[in-house]
């Protein structure tokens, strides 16, 4: 199998569980830092492209990272290379397919359980979330997961976009909470990190759910 391309958009958003999954399954992967100038990777060289989280969103068209990620995704879509978009990556996948990203009426900060029409592909959680924006569903896509606040996952051909973070861990999201402390206070939240505290069994369940999602996403490229 060709290697996996993982697009990282900031030092605070590493591949984490996705990298662990690749290693455990024996898949080679390459982490591409979107903030480095240079030519874009050729999607045809990879089994699939995974695009991770970012402090940016697709409306930030003044940022080269956003423009280049959009171009990369459009190339991948044109070449039928599967894209796994996670939070910012899901928003960028929506944009590449003609959707939009809008301000979330209810920012989702911490753990959540979702309703899934296809729990084999997208288990119902628990999942970590940390977003103040949300994507709209592009034409031709099928919503497969949701909660009372927004669409949580959609598929379009071989592509999957999620609004949650299957790749992240509590330690990573706690760093985002510390970074967003002032923003959280404006929402009346004095301790964002406390929203992440859960028993060890819930951490294990989230890791297992993430691995099931990654397995199922990869299997879809053969169907």
Residue 160 backbone class (left: φ over 0; alpha: ψ -120 to 50; beta: rest): beta
Whichever domain contains 110, its CATH number is 3.40.50.880
Domain of 71, in residue numbers: 4-220
Give pLDDT, residue 37: 75
**3-class DSSP state for residue 47?**
coil
Q: How many domains does the chain have?
A: 1
Rounded distance, CA 100 to CA 91, Å?
7
Residue 140 backbone class (left: φ over 0; alpha: ψ -120 to 50; beta: rest): left
Rounded distance, CA 219 to CA 131, Å?
28
- pLDDT higher than 90, residue 38: no
Whole-angstrom CA distances from 118 to 9, 47, 127, 140, 212 are 29, 23, 16, 17, 12
pLDDT, one tens digit per residue, over 164-182 is 999 999 999 999 999 999 9
Give the mean pLDDT of 208-221: 95
pLDDT, one tens digit per residue, over 104-149 is 999 999 999 999 999 999 999 999 999 999 999 999 999 999 999 9
Q: φ, ψ for residue 181 (rounded to 5)? A: -55, -45
Q: CB neighbours of 12 closer than 8 A, spacing ≥ 6?
A: 172, 175, 176, 179
Cross-strand partners of 123: none
The pTM (predicted TM-score) of the whole model is: 0.97
Please report which confidence band the pLDDT of residue 222 belongs to, taking 50, 70 and 90 as the band edges.
low
DSSP H or E run through 155: strand 151-156
* Contact predicate 99/136, CB 8 Å: yes
Q: CB neighbours of 81 closer than 8 A, spacing ≥ 6?
A: 43, 44, 46, 48, 49, 75
Give pLDDT, residue 94: 98
């Amino acid at each position: 199998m060709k290697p996996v391309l993982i697009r990282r958009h900031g030092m605070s958003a590493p591949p984490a569980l996705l990298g662990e999954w690749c290693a455990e399954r024996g898949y080679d992967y390459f982490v591409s830092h979107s903030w480095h100038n240079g030519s874009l990777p050729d999607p045809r060289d990879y089994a699939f492209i995974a695009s991770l989280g970012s402090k940016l969103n697709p409306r930030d068209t003044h940022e080269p990272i956003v423009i280049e990620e959009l171009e990369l995704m459009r190339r991948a879509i044109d070449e039928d290379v599967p894209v796994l978009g996670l939070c910012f990556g899901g928003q960028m996948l929506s944009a590449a397919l003609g959707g939009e990203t809008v301000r979330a009426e209810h920012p989702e900060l911490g753990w959540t359980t979702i309703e899934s029409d296809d729990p084999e592909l997208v288990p119902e959680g628990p999942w970590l979330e940390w977003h103040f924006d949300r994507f709209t569903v592009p034409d031709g896509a099928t919503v497969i997961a949701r909660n009372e606040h927004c669409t949580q996952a959609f598929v379009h051909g071989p592509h999957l976009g999620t609004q949650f973070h299957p790749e992240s861990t509590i330690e990573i999201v706690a760093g985002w909470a510390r970074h967003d402390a002032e923003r959280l206070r404006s929402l009346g939240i004095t301790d964002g990190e406390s929203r992440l505290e859960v028993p060890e069994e819930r951490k294990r369940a989230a890791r297992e759910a993430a691995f099931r999602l990654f397995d199922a996403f990869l299997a879809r490229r053969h169907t």
